[in-house]
Structures are given as C-alpha cells and as structure tokens.
Structure 1
Amino acid sequence: MKMKTSKVYLFFFFCFLGSLYALDTLIHGKTLHSNETLVSAGGVFELGFFTPSKSRFGYLGIWFKNDRNRKPVWVSNREIRQAVSTGVLYIRYDGNLVLSDRMSIPNIVNNGAGPTSNKTSAKLLDSGNLILMEAGKTIWQSFDYPTDTLLPGMSLGWFNKGNADRERKQYLSSWLSPSDPNIGLYFLGLDTVDLTKSNVWRQDHAYQQIGFWDGSYFRFFFQSLLDNQYNFSYISNSSQNSLTFHNKESNILRWFVLASDGTIMEFMMEGLKVSSVSYSICDSTLPHSSTGCLVSTPMMCKDGNNFSDIIKGSIPRSMLVSWPASTGTSDCEQTCRSNCSCVAYISSMDNGTRCELFYGDKDDLLNNIRKGNNSIYVRENDSKSDHEKKRKILLIVIALLIPLILMICIKLLFYLWRKSNCSGIHGNQVGTGEVHTSQLSPNNDPSTEDVIELGRKNDHELPLLSFISVVAATDNFSACNKIGEGGFGPVYKGKLKRNDIAVKRLSKYSGQGLAEFKNEVQLICKVQHRNLVKLLGCCIEQEEKILIYEYMPNRSLDSFIFDPVKQLLLDWTKRKYIIEGIAQGLLYLHKYSRLRIIHRDLKTSNILLDDYMNPKISDFGMARILFKDESKIKTKRVAGTYGYMSPEYAAHGIFSTKSDVFSFGVILLEIVSGRKIATFHEPNCSMNLLGYAWELWKDGRCTELMDPTLGGSCPVNDVLMFIQVGLLCVQENAEDRPNMWDVLLMLSSERASLPEPKQPAYSTLLNAAADGSSISTRQNPSPNLVSISLAEAR
C-alpha cells in the first residue's frame, strides 16, 4: 500500500513539472537551442531547427510531429542564408522573437509587428500556427507569412488595403529547390486585377489561372481527388480580399504545397498515413505549344460570343471546372459566355443537371472529338457575314474620318515646321521622351569621374510617374504637406492611390544634381532590406527630378533624438533597437546585398522611422559601389556631412566600408548622449562630442555622457558597452575600426571581451560646422584645419 501511494505521488510530481515547462510555449528568459523543439499541445506540429539535405545552411521551421522526414510547412527568415544549425530562439529584451546563429547575429522573426514590452510569449498551436502574444493578445502569427504550404485556416489575398504602411499581400512561394528553402521561381495567390481568380506565376511574370471563386464556391480547373472535402470561404471588404479553406472532416487533415517546379501537390493525412497527388500546371496531356501552360497574357474573346454544337466528344480533364447547374443548358452557356477564357461547355451530363466548363486551348479540345458521348458547345469564330458587316462599318468610319485626319496632319506639319525654326534660333532641344531615356541611360563620357553607371536597360525597373500625378498627389507641393528638407531638396507628404508617399523634389539650388539622382535610382533599386527605405518610383520631366518613397510616419531619427520632448519617448530599449537596426542595414549593404555599397552620407537625419520605430537607412544619392577587387577608393569629389565623415575620407578622399563604420560610431554616441555632434557644447570644454566622450572614457566617467532623460531606466554596464563600441568605430586609423559584422557581435557580447579603443579622430578640434549640412566639392584643402571635409586634388 505504501509503494502504491508513492507511485501516485510520483505521478503527480511529474504532472506538476510538465505544467511548469509547457512544451508548446517559449517565454522571456527561456531559450530554444538547435537540439530542442516546441511541440503543439495536441502533438500535431513541432518547431525547431533543421538542415535540408545537401545543404550547409540551417533554418528554423515547423513540421508535422509524425513526419519522419521533417519536411517543414513553414520556414522562418528563409531569405537570410546563415548557418543556424547551432542557433538559438529566444524572446529578446524588447519583446521581439529573435533567431540568432552561432555568430550571435540577431534576426527578428516577427517582422512587421513591434511589441511594446518584453512581456511576450511565443506559442505553437495545433493548427501549425506560431503566434507571438502580449498581454493575452496575438500581435503576430506565422499564418500571415506563409511559405510554400497552405494549411487549413491560412489565408491568401490582400490585407490592410488602403494602408500604405501596413498593406500586406499573402501568397505561397515555392522553395528554390527541394533542398533549398529560399524563395523560388513560382508563386501562388490571388490575381492582382481580378481578386476572385487564383493563379500560379513565375518570376518572369508568365502565369496560369488555376481556379476562381464563383460567388458561392471555389472552383479548381484541375479535378481534385478530394473534391467536396473542403469548405472554402471568400472575404471581400474595404480592408481585405482573402481566400481561406478548412477541412470538412475533423479526423482527416488535408493541405496544399507549391513545389519548387511549380507543381501543386495535394496532401491528405489520416492517422499516421500520408498520401498525395500532384497537379502540373503544364499538364503532360497538353501540347508543348498550348496556351494553357503559363500564359504570358490573358486570353481574349477573339472568337466572339456565339457557341456552336459540334459532334460528340469529351472535355480534357486538365483544364476543366465542373459543378451542378441549376437551370440546365442556358445557365451553363451564360456562365461560359461571361468569361472570355471559357472555350467550351457541356450541359447534357445527368439529364442537364450538371455543367462542365473548359478553360484550355481549343486545339486540345478538338483532339478529344469522338472520345465521348457528350454534346460539346464550342465558342465559334466570327462568321463571314459578321466580317462583312464589320468591313462596311469600317469603310464608313474611315470615309467620315478622312477630312479630320487631313486637318490634323496639316496642323501637325505646321507645328513641326515652326518648332524646327525655333530650334535654329534657340539651339537644339531634347524632347521629353529623349530626356527620360538620356537622363537615366549609361554615361559613356570617360571624363566624368566618380559617377557610378551600371549600364544595363533593366537596372532601373521603377515606375516612371508623370509630373501631373505627383502635383496632384502633393496638392501642388503645398507648404502644409512639406515634411522636411535636405541636401537634395524639399520632401513632401503625398497620397497616391490612397497610399501615403514621401516625395523628394530636387531643388534648383541644391548642391546635388543629376549624378546623385541617377545614383540613387540605380542603387536603391538593387537593394531590399527591412532596414533600408523603399523607393517606389521616380519622375523626370523638363527640369523636374523627383523621387517617390514609402512614407515614414515618425520622420527622421534626429527629429526624435535631439528634440527635448520627443526624446523622452525613446527609452533605452528603443534606442538599442534603433542602433541594432541601423547596424543590420549597414551590414547588408557592406556584405549581403547584390552590390557592395558604401553609403558615404550616413547621419541621423538620413535614418527614418516607421510606425513601429524600425530604423530605415535612406538617401543613397552619394553612395558608391565597391567591386570585388577593391577594398577602398580614392576620389576627387568628397561628398558627405561635417562631423560624420571619417578623417581619411575628409582629408584625402579615400573611402571604404570603414568610412560608414565611422559615421555609425558618431550616430551611436549621439543616440546614447542625446546630443548632436554639429552643435555640441559643454561648458569649459573645447572638444567636440567625440573628444568629450574620449575624455570621460579615460577618466572612468562614461555615465556622464548618457542622456539625462534615460535616468535610471537602463543598465549602466549596457550603456558603457555601447559607448565603448561607439569609440571603437570612430578611431583615427581605419584599420583599427571594426567592420559591421564585428560591430553586431560586440553589441551582443559582454563588455569584458571588447578591445580597448584608441583616441578618436577630431578629438581635439571644435566642430567643423554648426549646421550639419552636406557638402560636395572638388576644391583643394583649406589651410584651416577646422574645415576638415575638403579634398586634395590629384
């Protein structure tokens, strides 16, 4: 009896331990290592680290618990190719869910959702959805960011329509290969024009429609083996258009996968048994020339709207939609007639109570003649009589238009004659269309130095907006819409197609010009990162040169950090988040982007903040490319901002990635101190901000540099570590400064492991300028050492 009682106690003890450590939830202070997993409460799904076969990269993913192959249904941060096989998943100090590899480079999993505290937890649900909760409310979920798998409850479509900053399009994207989870060549989602249609498309924009919402049901063009086993629902309102499905049977799980070759795979799991069937969007029964395989343009109603009764046959199963028809033949014909892509229909199945529509190619249909007993109604070609009527009508229209055409031609010739005479008087002028191409085309003049020209027509695939549309968007550049001004010119808030935009207009008095404009267009089109501002389009008409960006509601960092009221909103947690975000953006530019880019004008006014205070680096007008065989470049043209420029660049025109590191160090010290380098002043002190920080460091009084508004809200050791990293970044010699990879490692390490900084540049000089303005010059250096930003001539 005593032994039996002890077993009961032991059972309850283990139950108690299980309740303390929930296997499906990750909380603040706990970490998930590469050899550990989270398992949903019902044991359906598992989350952990995996390494695909034949791959040296690791990822964080979710898979079915009973799947021996652990094929993920969702992958986190798949675009970041980093080794995370020894990774860690944890809730960071700011409440974000963070993935870190063995090099301690942090990557936020919950992109697009910023928690307000560290009171968050991550939970894996039995639906396969990973959610991040704060105060009992879900603030982010993996179902909003699907990869290649559509699970029950997931949605495809457009969300937050009309909100430019938060609009989100959800679609499936295939793996790059069966062993590489990175984004592949194929995508599946709702059509961008008709949101009731569903397409598969390739990166080259060729696409194939695979189904549509008919108002009551979702109709696949292929015949699903699991027909009538799904409950599809479609939501259409002012904020979203989305398609969702659920399984009808609770004991059987069904889902879809978009394979790396574009194949749509339909899976079913009953118990531990998994079965699947594949549907090729380029069906093997179709001829290779068939337009039913990834058409590049929509099929038009070239065959008219009349249908003819052909001999008996059957419809190929590859592009067929079938459902019960309520009113027989007339109902079926009307449905087919209303869609130009519908080629034929059958309405004699089951005594006229079933309708079959064919959306493929007519030639494929004709190959099936006499292969069935159904009467097929085919969209017929225009008759000869119709052609004759159209020809007569066309002749009448031409006869009526001839006098008008002659008048237009005479006026046009007169206009061209006057224009040619004016050109002889006023010199040669370039037409508007020519201006567009010439101003963005490669510059073949070898005498023009220091202008990066990429030289390929598809380097600048940006929407080219008309000046009229930009004027309308900004209310004719209204003063009340002006939100700032920089070296390029004024910046206005505008609204284009109900989306907020930021419009940067080149001023005729600007020190920057066409070279900087072309540089920004060409470079920023080639880089995509969440810590870089997104360029949406440009406008070039006459003397106007305009750039259109995504709108940043919280403006620039300097408007917060140097404002005595707004800086109170930036506690230490937010400042750390901003510093790390800037570092991530720079690391991408220097190491991971398609081009190795040096910004050259990094400063607080060029760091923009979105709704969630995510920092985004902007203004690439002065950026330059470092090619593979280059570690540094020397230029005659020094371009940048006083106070943020590295000494080797300011004095000798030599720049490298370490030039940006110097600027980052200045920004870091500004964020910690809340003081601007260009206007720094301390009583009884003749040094600038860098010199003052250095003196406090040597005397062991670094806490005096800390912004007083932070008070006791931050750990002293944390602040001292950040100041030490800032001083390492602004050292005199470029070789002594860390690179951005090292900087991110330092920001996440212990202070004791950091090297000791050497004396920073300019530490004994007063500020060069009080306004922090940008400069661009080719002059010889001034003998006055205060103006350290002018370059030597070669």
Structure 2
Amino acid sequence: MVSANGEFELGFFSLGNSNSWYLGIQYKRAFGTVAWVANRDAPLTTSSGTLTLSSEGKLIIQNGTNMTIWSSSSSKSLGNPVAQLLDSGNLVIRTYNNSDTGLIWESFDFPYNSLLPGMRLGKNLVTGLDWSLKSWKRNNDLSPGIFQLKLDISGYPQMFLWDGSARYLRLGPWNGVSFSGVPNWGPSDIFNSEFVLNEKEMYYKYDFIYSSGLIRISTEPDGQIIRYTWTDGYNTWKPSILLQPDYCDAYARCGEYASCNSNSLCSCLDRFQPKNVKAWSRLNFSEGCVPEKQLHCSDKDGFVQQLNKKLPDTRRSTYNLSMNLKECEMKCLKNCSCTAYANTNITKEGSGCLIWFGGLIDIKEQGQSPDVFYVRVASGASSSSRARRIALIVIVTIVSILAVALIFYLWHVRRYRKQNREGEMMENEIDDGREDLPLFDFRTIANATNNFSSNFKLGEGGFGPVYKGVLENGKEIAVKRRSTCSAQGTEEFRNEVSCIAKLQHRNLVRLLGWSTEEGERILIYEYMPNKSLDYFIFGDTDQRASLNWPKRYNIINGIAKGLLYLHEDSRLRVIHRDLKTSNILLDYHLNPRISDFGTARRFADSQTEANTARVVGTYGYMSPEYAIEGEFSVKSDVYSFGVMIIEIVSGKKNRFFNHPGHNLNLIGHAWTGYNEDNLMELIDVPIQESGEEHEVYRVIHIGLLCVQQYPEDRPDMSSVLKMLSSKVPLPRPNQPVFFTERRLNEANPSHSQDGFSICSQTNTFFAPR
C-alpha cells in the first residue's frame, strides 16, 4: 500500500538476514528507513503471513497457521470500512464514503521510535491514550528497547526519558520555544513546533515547513534523541543530535538547590550552601544544598534570579497560563510553601505563571539558555546595616588588593631574575636539540599575537594558552606560552625543544622556534587551521558529520604512520606518553599531526621499555601497566592509539561514557559489542550510512587488539599499519582491561579526581607512585 504522494509504503519487511518479519510503514525515497511498526512485540518467524481488514474495521495480522499475532485496537466498529495510508505516513481506518471524519483508528495514535510531522507526543486525558516514543532494542533489532520518551503530566507537564521503570533524564517543560533541557530543540527554519495544553489534551507536535521534504525525530537504542532531515542531493539522512546524554543529564545528579556544570561537578545555587560539607568535599553531592538563612515566610523574603540553567523538576508545581510574572511573584510570596517561580512561556515579554513547591532538583547549567527562574531566599540585613557592611567590605578589599599587589610585584621581580638565569642556562643545555631551530625574540612574538590578545587565543592546555600569530612576512604560526600556574615547567619545555626539533614527518606537528626572553617559556609551531581532532569527533552534529568515514579512516592511518616514525624510523626512538584526541591537530586538508611532546621520552636503539616514579598522562588513554606500575614502552602508545581508534569510530569519549545496560567505559562497551556481534550500536551516526560497514568493523577490531591487557599481546605500529592497509586476517583480541572511573580512582588514590592543573584547563596529571 503506497500513499498518494508516493512518500510512504506499507508492507511486510525484515532487516538484513533476520528471520523476523514485521508489518510496517517505510519511506520509499529513503528506502529501508522504518517510520512505524505494527507487530513490534510479535514478529512473524517466517515470510508466511497475511494482513486483512475485518468487516468491523480491524486490521489483523495472521501467521502461516492462521493464528492472529496482532490486531488494531478500537472501541468502535464500522460498516464498510477502508484502510488508507495518508500522505503524512499515518495509516487510518475510516468509513468508505467519508475521508475527513469517522476515523476509528490511526497509527499516529501508536507511535514507536520515530516522531513524524503531525504526530503527537503526550496524553489524551479523555481517552487515556498515551503518545510516547520507545527505542528499538538495537539498530538491527526492532523489538522494544529500554528507553521511552514520555510526557509526565503531574504538576506542569514536562518530558522525561525513561530507562525501563526509572527516570533516566528530564528534558523539562515546554517553555514556548523548546523543552527547557534541550535549548536547541525548538523552532528553526525547517519546522514549527506547538505544545497544546488544555483540559482534554496535553501534547507536543511539529510540522515540517517544506512540503517536499522529509524529517523525523528518533529515540535511539543508546538514549540519544536525533532529528533526521533527508537531503536529496546526497540521498541520505542528515542527523542533528537534539539530546546526547552526559554526566549532568543523569536525573537529580546534584540533589536539592544545586546545579551540575560542564566540569561534571555540582555547585549550590546563590544563597545556598552544602547540606553535608564533608560529603560535598569528597564529591558526593547527593544530599544537595540548604539555604544559608531560613525563610521568614513574610515580606522579608526575596528572590534570586537564576540564568542559563535548565528549569527545575516541575512535578511539585502548579501553573496558571493567564498570569504575568509580577502576579506570579506575588502569588509565590503569599504561599509559605512556594520556593520558586517563572514564566511558563518565554516568547515575547513572557506570560503564564509556574510555581514550585518543596526542594528544587535536577538543575543543569546551560550556556545561552533562554530560561529564567527566581528562587526564594531570606532577605539580608536592613539597608543601613547593609550599607555599613558594604563600606567595610570595600575598605578591606582595597587594603587586600594593595597588599597582594605589593607581594606580587616583589615575587615577579624575583621570578624574572631567576627565569632569566634559567633561560641563559637552558640555551646552553639544549643546543643539541635545536640545531637549525631559530630563537625568536619576545617582541616579534608579542607583535605577531597582538600582545597575546584574547581575540587571538586558540585554546589552553596543561602547559599554558595557545595563540594564533602572524609574522611580518605573513606566515601564520601557533604560539604556546607557558602559564604561570602551569604544573609543567622547565623540564617539559626543554624536553619538547630537544625532542621535536630532531623529528621531521608529515604526521608530526612542526616546531618552528622557541624563546626564553623576558623569563618566558614560549614555543612556536606551524599553524593548524582545523584545531584538534576532539573538536570534531566530540563536537556538535555538524562538526561530527563533516568527518565522514573516509576522512576518519585517513586520520587513523595518519596517526599510525606518525607513531611508526616515532617508534622505529626516526633518529630517536620516542615514546609520546600522552597520546589523546586533543593532541592530534588537523591541517588544511584534515591530515593529522601529532603534537605536545612535553612529556615524551627518548629511548636508545637497544632500549624497549622503562619505568618511572612520575606517571604522566591522561585518564582513559593510559595503558594499565603504565597507570598502575609506571612501566612504559612503545606498547603504551599503542594502547592509547587503540583508545583513540574507538573514540574516532564512535564519536564518544572513553571517560564519562554512560550506558544504561552496564557501567563499563567505552572500551568495555566496544568489547561487549564485539562479543555479541553488535558493533553497529557503537558506530557514530554520521558514518553508519557510509556503506563501509565491513571496513569500520575491521578498524574497531584493530582498536581492540591495541587495547589488550598485556603489552606483549598488542601489535606494534608496523603491524597495525599492515592491518589497516591490507586485508590480512586479524587474530581474535583478548579481553581488555576496562573499569569504571570510580574504580580507577580507588585503585590509585594518589591520582587526583580529574587531574586538573590549578588552571583547570587540562586533564594531564603528574602523580607519584
């Protein structure tokens, strides 16, 4: 059965070599894409099956033995019924002579994993129909998965993503533009959204602006919510991730009156403090925060404005859609149980009143969030005492600033003299490494970067900030300047200059010069316009989509060639020791360049491994023998390379990887998928339709060989390159070492929780054993 516009077809189908047959609606233009499934819980086990329309108006699926395995449910019956597939993709049963009224059943009332234009997501309060989305079990298994996107109508309606019977995360209420927890959900130039809220129905729906286009919103097996738009020019779906769960999305992560930020930490709202300070200092945020001062339940109470945050859980709330914000504030102030208020609709000047009762939970910091809410707090002292206190604070602040300035001046003079002496010594010590490497004067570098202007800043790492610069001859450069608060110092600087100056390879970043003038530690590199690899593979949908499979495959090969040069082909045998996606830079043609050799170690020709009491590196990329015992070798870099392979293929980070079915990190998840022959779930959406499925699987297999537990089991880089460039049979990998981040910290308590430097800009850490 085909819709009149030819966009949709109804029929029986199976996926791949599966013996499970389903009745469903598929797109004709995007052949193989399923829009709706009837018998998702009861597939046919053979291709013998029939679909009939009964005289009462019921669709019935029967198997080869005439057993009914599915039928459409309806409380009504019709005489002379017809079934029709509408141009919207909606399968309806209606009376023969009336196409506009008399519907007794429609597939749009029973959505599966996809929300099509015109479908509703919510609840019919009269009939009890619950319009929700449920994920597939796997990409190649249409049976019901564990995730369900559903509207909760207790309090002000809000959308939840459920994991089985547990609330997994909260998308929040509709604010007139988007769901509060997904600011990029709402109206765009391609579709219009609507949220209906009355005494009969509560639901969200959207309509596509372009009549000739295709769009769908899907709940994926891993919990992602993705909007797909069909692009005729490429004959493929363009994905746009509306929601990709992260650490802070876990429901009520931080307890009451606290918000979760991008550093995966919790902080109390203004005028609140941790309820259990000791637990809070140990990063246990479950008990949340309490007011610094108890409320008076009078006009002495006030409100603190909260910006750029997801609205708190609205299950304990009431609302009035006709009130304005001032009326809402007064209503809250008169109710001793009211703890916060906000507009229900933020469009134009705002309208409607939303009032919370009890503790505020599940708040997340969101940059540029349009939502604003006001939290009730006890007012401070009287105006006169407040003025005296402010005056005292100003005086103490001025005196403190002057004292600190004097101390800093004396410290700076002493440091300047010391660094100048160190610089003179360093020039003598690293002559063996610089050879033809020029020594830049400080004024030239300052002019090139507009005196290290923040507008020229590219980013910041463990050594310090990196700036873009342009020399007088027009040559673009990247300038890495050691920060005064960096944990890395003279040793790392000397190591980088003396090491990388002797290395020349197209997949290594090129060091152009250095400077120690004015007590500085500055490194000058060739400029890489496309930033680092992590910017693309962990970025938004457009950034990730720009790296298709051929480009990712080229990057993997380039990194492998650079590592082979370091390990076997250069004048020095070099162990990088801090390989990670942020240390892979991309040139104009997206070719990879390995960078950051500050912690690298050089080996003699006959040396194969070493041991250190000073472990450096980044959690998630370090091999187990190095993280635990301090033993490192070329196989340590191979392990890091294997982690990067799986991150490049999946578009997810090894650290902080979350999966509803287990507590493993990304490596453990890949190993599970390999053993269960279900690697498709691991693969990043932008490359799933590349048509190179076998090649992608092979690369994951190579990655798993690189992350095996024992160094002797891992291939060297020459073997890895052979595997990547040929079709030689691959050995079966042994089980890698994988564990949760908590277990890693417990196993090695001397390492910091996140390994932040005092600049809070890097994950590289230095720790004694």
TM-score of Structure 1 vs Structure 2, range by shorter chain? 0.3 to 0.5
Q: Scaled by the length of structure 2, what TM-score is found?
A: 0.43
Looking at CA atoms only, which structure, 1 or 2, has the larger radius of gyration?
A: 1
Q: Scaled by the length of structure 1, what TM-score is found?
A: 0.41
